[in-house]
Amino acid sequence: MLYSHSMAGSIRSSLQAHARFIRSIRGYFGDHGYAEVDTPSLCPYLIPEPAIEVFRTEYLSSRGAAVPLWLAPSPELWMKRLLARGSGSIFQISHSYRNGDLGGPVHNPEFRLLEWYTAGSGYLDSIGVAEDLFSRLLAENTPGRRREQLAPPFLRMSMEEAFRRFAGIELAAHQDAQSMKEAGLRQGVVMPADPTWEEAFHIVFLTLVEPGLPRSRPLVLTDYPMRVPTTARRKPGTPWAERWELYVDGVEIANCYTEETDPRALRAFIKEESERKKACRVPHRIDEGLADIFPPGFPPCSGAALGVDRLEMVFSGESSLQGVILFPFSAILEVQSNTR
């Protein structure tokens, strides 16, 4: 392909828009008292997340030993340690890595993740942070779609309400695997012979609920079931977790918890997930010390993870991450095959 001035102008324009978008994110958090941090991508252990496959590598020590390491699927591991030491509110834009068959327009094995922790706050407070961030981005960047499709305030809906509206299922009334399976079958959902409750829940969610979610404005889906294991704190007196996810135009953009800091609850989570992770294709060591990093009486904090590439994609009006990632994984593989 011949080089042209129009080609050069296009890439410069794209790079400038990309840089402006990242500056807006950093500017928002810096202006609101968050300290920016930079944590390792190479990890000797990870938080157990069986649904996520990871990348394994090795450190070749001077003693000849090969020390196993894994690429972080998020900066959570280290950011929580800073938070527990009294860092106050912090944020980071990191490269994160997830392995396995992640095909489709909104997946890439290497991606940018914005993660922020707000000291002394809960999960609902972080909805306001996300709304303010969107307002900042809209003020400083030219969106590629109608502003009203992105502008706060966000729509809000509980997971219980979403199941009732879009699947015709009272989620709280189906808290065992057989009941959830039968509820899905009655709604015409194809189910495996013997699903766990979590499997049946996700099948119904992906088949009936997620496709029905409103797309007119950003939507916050709150109060996920506690039976979906995470490090989110339980909502007192309910079967729900203090957790939300943000959807824009049907694409999941962010995930947020009120962080669990009770060592007993964290130990139970680590024990359960350590058993489940044995089915992972890439085994990894578990951060057994996670349960004990928070001192007694640690104040509440909220943690949120937001996919920067997905956010930039929906803001720019693109339909695929290939429109915002400079070197998407598929293009890297194509370059490799062309050089053989």
Question: Residue 331 in contact with residue 322, Cβ under 8 Å?
Answer: yes
Q: What is the pLDDT at residue 9?
A: 63
Q: Is residue 3 very low, low, confident or very high in pLDDT (cuts 50, 70, 90)?
A: very low
pLDDT cut 70: percent of the chain above it: 95
Residue from 14, 220, 3, 240 nearest 129 by CA: 220
What H or E segment, with its residue span, contains residue 93? strand 90-97
SS3 content of the chain, % helix, strand, coil (to 5): 40, 20, 40
Helices (H) and strands (E) in the chain, counts: 10, 11
CB atoms within 10 A of CB 25: 22
Which range among 9-18, 70-79, 122-131, 154-163 shows the weakest confidence by mean pLDDT? Answer: 9-18
Tokens of 122: 């809960």
Question: Residue 19 in contact with residue 242, Cβ under 8 Å?
Answer: no
Output the pTM of the full model.
0.93
Greatest distance between any 2 Cα atoms in the chain: 66
**pLDDT score of 5 more than 60:** no
DSSP state letters, 232-291? BPBPTTSSBBSEEEEEETTEEEEEEEEBP--HHHHHHHHHHHHHHGGG-SS---B-GGGG
Q: What is the pLDDT at residue 283?
A: 87
| Whether residue 109 has a cis bond before it, omega within 30° of 0 | no
Q: Using one digit for the tens of pLDDT, what is the confidence trace for 256-294?
A: 999 999 999 999 999 988 888 777 889 889 998 999 999
CB atoms within 10 A of CB 1: 4
Q: Using one digit for the tens of pLDDT, what is the confidence trace for 131-153?
A: 999 999 999 999 988 888 999 99
